[in-house]
Amino acid sequence: MLKNTARSRRPRAAATAGLAASAVLGLALAGCGQDSTSPQEARGRADTRVQAKAARTAGTVDCAKAKCIALTFDAGPGPHTPQLLDILKEKKVHATFFLLGSKHVDTYPDIVRRAAAEGHEIANHTWTHRRLDQLKPDEIRSELGRTQRAVEALTGRAPTLMRPPQGRTNDEVTAVSKELGLSQVLWSATAKDYATTDSALIHKRILDQASRDGIILLHDIYDGTVPAVPGIIDELTERGYTFVTVPQLLAPGTPQPGTLYRP
C-alpha cells in the first residue's frame, strides 16, 4: 500500500515552478492550439529505409508492435532524484528527464551526469521555468540556450527535446526551438503532483490515464512523487506496457526540431 508522504522543505526554485504550474497545467493540453504530431504519426512518417534499419537493430523496441509508454519527469534534478534513479535502475526502466537549469542543473551536476550515464534521456525544461509563450524571441533563446549549454557541458551532449513550461507554446517558441535543434514534447497523463503529497493518489491518477503510446508527466522534485513510482511501474508492466524514452517512442522516426509532439 502506498502511504501519504510528509511534506518537507522544497528548493525555492522548485516551489516557484510548482506554484506557476498549478494555475494552468491542467489546461495546458487543451490550450496549446498548435498543430502537433502523435507518436504513431512520427513512426509512420519515418523513411522506409530507416524503418528497415531499425528493424534489424538488435534489442530495439518496436512501439508499432509493443504496448509502449514513456515515463517523463519535469523540473529536476533535486534531492529526491537519486532515489528515483535507484528505483529506475532496479526496475530496468529508462525515463526522460526535462531538466531546469537554475538551482537544479547547476546545483546538482553529479545527478545530471549520473542520469545520462545510466541511459536516461536528458531534455530541456528551460532555465527558470518562465512561460515561453509570454517572452520575446531573445528571451526564449536565453531560457532554452542556457540549459542547452549547461547540460552539454556536463554530459557531452546537448538535448534534442524540450518541454515548454505549463505546455504553453506558440509560433515564436516553435521557431526558436527549431533554431536550437529542439523538439517540443507534451504529455497525455499527469498526476498533478505539484498539488498533492498523497502518493496513493498520484499512483491512481497515472494508472487511470495510462494509454498505449502515452507520455506520463511527473515531477521528481515533489515529496509524494518518487514513492509512487515503483507501484506505477509494476502495475503498468503487469498490464503489458513497455517503458521507453520519448525518442524510443517515436522510433524509427526521429524527433524533428520545432515539431510539437503530443499523444
Please list the active-site residues.
74, 219
Q: Say if CB 72 and CB 187 are below 8 A apart.
A: yes
Report the distance separating Cα 95 and Cα 245, nearest Å.
Answer: 5
75's CB contacts (< 8 A; 6+ apart) are 14, 17, 18, 98, 99, 100, 104, 125, 129, 219, 220, 221
Question: In this structure, how many other beta carbons lie within 10 angstroms of the beta carbon of residue 247?
Answer: 19
List, in order, residues 6 or more apart from 159 with CB less than 8 Å away. Answer: 122, 123, 124, 147, 148, 151, 152, 182
Calculate helix-pair angle for 171-179, 137-155, nearest 10 degrees. Answer: 40
Q: Cα–Cα distance between 17 and 245 in angstroms, integer?
A: 24
Could you tell me which of 170, 105, 106 has the C-alpha nearest to residue 140? Answer: 170
Comparing CA positions, the residue from 130, 70, 74 lying closest to residue 105 is: 74
Location of C-alpha cell 509524494: 224
